[in-house]
Chains A and B, each alone.
Chain A
Amino acid sequence: MKALAGVALLMGLAGPLAAQDSAGVRLGITYSAGTRPGLIILPGPGLDSVRAILQRDLDYSDRFEVVALPASEVPRGGGGSINYRLYRTLGASYGVEVTGAGASLLVRLHDLDAGSVRKEQRATLPPADSPEFRMAVHQLADEVVRWITGLPGIAATRFLYLVDKQLWRIDSDGANAVAMTRPNEALSPAWSPDGNRVAFTHWLNDGTGPLVIQGLQGGNRTTVAGTGSALNITPSFSPDGQWLAFARVDEGGTDIFKVNLAAGSAPQRLTAGRFADNLSPTYSPDGRRIAFVSTRAGAPQVYVMSADGTDQELLAPFDYGVTGSSNGPEWSPDGASLAFHRDVSRAPQVFVLDVNSRRVRQLSSSGRNEDPTWAPDGRHIAFVSDRSGRRQLWVIDMDTGRIRQLRTPGAVRLPSWSRRIGTAAP
Chain B
Amino acid sequence: MRLSLGFLMLVTAVATAAACGGKPPAEQPTPVAADTTGDGARARARQDSIDAANRARAEADRLAREAADRAAADRAAAAARAGLTSDLASVIHFDFDKSDIMSGDMANLDRKAAILNANSNVQVRISGHADDRGSDEYNLALGNRRAAAAKRYLVSKGVADARIAIVSFGEERPVAMGADEASWAQNRRDEFEIVSGGDNLVAPR
State how many angstroms separate the Cβ of A246 from the closest Cβ of chain B.
11
A280 with B137: in contact, given A206-B167, A251-B166, A325-B97 (CB under 8 Å)? Answer: yes
Distance A193 CA – B133 CA, assembled complex (angstroms): 31
B141 at the A/B interface (Cβ < 8 Å)? yes
A389 at the A/B interface (Cβ < 8 Å)? no
A135 at the A/B interface (Cβ < 8 Å)? no
A2 at the A/B interface (Cβ < 8 Å)? no
A165 touching B137 by the CB < 8 A rule?
Answer: no
Q: Which of A234, A249, A346 is B168 in contact with, Cβ under 8 Å? A: A249
A327 with B167: in contact, given A253-B144, A254-B141, A279-B141 (CB under 8 Å)? Answer: no
B7 at the A/B interface (Cβ < 8 Å)? no
Distance A371 CA – B135 CA, assembled complex (angstroms): 8
Distance A325 CA – B135 CA, assembled complex (angstroms): 9
Q: Which of A165, A233, A348 is most buried by chain B, counting CB atoms within 10 A of its CB?
A: A233
Distance A206 CA – B169 CA, assembled complex (angstroms): 8
A327 with B135: in contact, given A208-B167, A253-B145, A299-B97 (CB under 8 Å)? Answer: yes
A279 neighbours in B (Cβ, 8 Å): 137-138, 140-141
B140 touching A231 by the CB < 8 A rule?
Answer: yes
A234 touching B145 by the CB < 8 A rule?
Answer: no
State how many angstroms separate the Cβ of B186 from the closest Cβ of chain A.
18
Distance A110 CA – B74 CA, assembled complex (angstroms): 92
Distance A253 CA – B140 CA, assembled complex (angstroms): 10
Q: Which of A165, A188, A249, A250 is most buried by chain B, counting CB atoms within 10 A of its CB?
A: A249
A207 touching B169 by the CB < 8 A rule?
Answer: yes
State how many angstroms separate the Cβ of B147 from the closest Cβ of chain A.
9
Question: For window 184-216 of chain A, which residues contact chain B by CB distance below 8 Å?
Answer: 187-188, 203, 206-208
A328 at the A/B interface (Cβ < 8 Å)? yes
B95 at the A/B interface (Cβ < 8 Å)? no
A165 with B172: in contact, given A253-B144, A299-B97, A325-B97 (CB under 8 Å)? Answer: yes
State how many angstroms separate the Cβ of B153 from the closest Cβ of chain A.
15
A247 at the A/B interface (Cβ < 8 Å)? yes
Interface size for B (C-beta < 8 A) is 21
B127 touching A327 by the CB < 8 A rule?
Answer: no
A300 touching B138 by the CB < 8 A rule?
Answer: yes
B137 touching A370 by the CB < 8 A rule?
Answer: no
State how many angstroms separate the Cβ of A57 from the closest Cβ of chain B.
31
Q: Which of A207, A346, A414 is B136 in contact with, Cβ under 8 Å? A: A414
State how many angstroms separate the Cβ of A185 from the closest Cβ of chain B.
12
B148 at the A/B interface (Cβ < 8 Å)? yes
Q: Which of A165, A208, A231, A327 is B138 in contact with, Cβ under 8 Å? A: A327
B136 neighbours in A (Cβ, 8 Å): 187, 371, 413-414
Q: Name the residue of chain A whose CB is nearest to the CB of B167.
A: A207
Distance A295 CA – B141 CA, assembled complex (angstroms): 10
Question: For window 35-74 of chain B, which residues contact chain A by CB distance below 8 Å?
Answer: none
B133 touching A328 by the CB < 8 A rule?
Answer: no
B134 at the A/B interface (Cβ < 8 Å)? yes
Where chain A touches its partner, the secondary structure class is strand
A328 touching B97 by the CB < 8 A rule?
Answer: no
A208 neighbours in B (Cβ, 8 Å): 167
A233 touching B140 by the CB < 8 A rule?
Answer: yes
Question: For window 89-124 of chain B, which residues contact chain A by CB distance below 8 Å?
Answer: 97
A277 neighbours in B (Cβ, 8 Å): 138, 141-142, 144-145
State how many angstroms separate the Cβ of A294 from the closest Cβ of chain B.
10
A341 at the A/B interface (Cβ < 8 Å)? yes
Distance A207 CA – B97 CA, assembled complex (angstroms): 20
A352 at the A/B interface (Cβ < 8 Å)? no
A293 at the A/B interface (Cβ < 8 Å)? yes
State how many angstroms separate the Cβ of A344 from the closest Cβ of chain B.
13
A207 with B138: in contact, given A251-B148, A253-B145 (CB under 8 Å)? Answer: no
Contact with B along A216-236 (1 / 0, CB 8 A): 000000000000000101100
Distance A227 CA – B172 CA, assembled complex (angstroms): 20
Contact with A along B140-184 (1 / 0, CB 8 A): 111011001000000000000000011111001000000000000
B137 touching A234 by the CB < 8 A rule?
Answer: yes
A328 neighbours in B (Cβ, 8 Å): 135, 137
B141 neighbours in A (Cβ, 8 Å): 247, 249, 253-254, 277, 279, 295
A249 touching B140 by the CB < 8 A rule?
Answer: yes
Contact with B along A288-318 (1 / 0, CB 8 A): 0000010100011000000000000000000
A371 neighbours in B (Cβ, 8 Å): 135-136
Distance A279 CA – B133 CA, assembled complex (angstroms): 18
Show 24 residue pairs from A and B whose CB-CB distance is below 8 angstroms, ordered by the A residue. Answer: A203-B172, A206-B167, A207-B127, A207-B167, A231-B140, A231-B144, A231-B168, A247-B141, A251-B165, A251-B166, A253-B144, A254-B141, A254-B144, A277-B138, A277-B145, A280-B138, A293-B138, A295-B141, A299-B97, A325-B138, A327-B135, A328-B137, A348-B135, A371-B136
B residues touching A (Cβ–Cβ < 8 Å)? 97, 125, 127, 133-138, 140-142, 144-145, 148, 165-169, 172
**Closest A-B pairs by Cβ, 6 of them:** A207-B167, A327-B135, A254-B141, A277-B141, A249-B144, A327-B138
A residues touching B (Cβ–Cβ < 8 Å)? 165, 187-188, 203, 206-208, 231, 233-234, 247, 249-251, 253-254, 277, 279-280, 293, 295, 299-300, 325, 327-328, 341, 346, 348, 370-371, 413-414
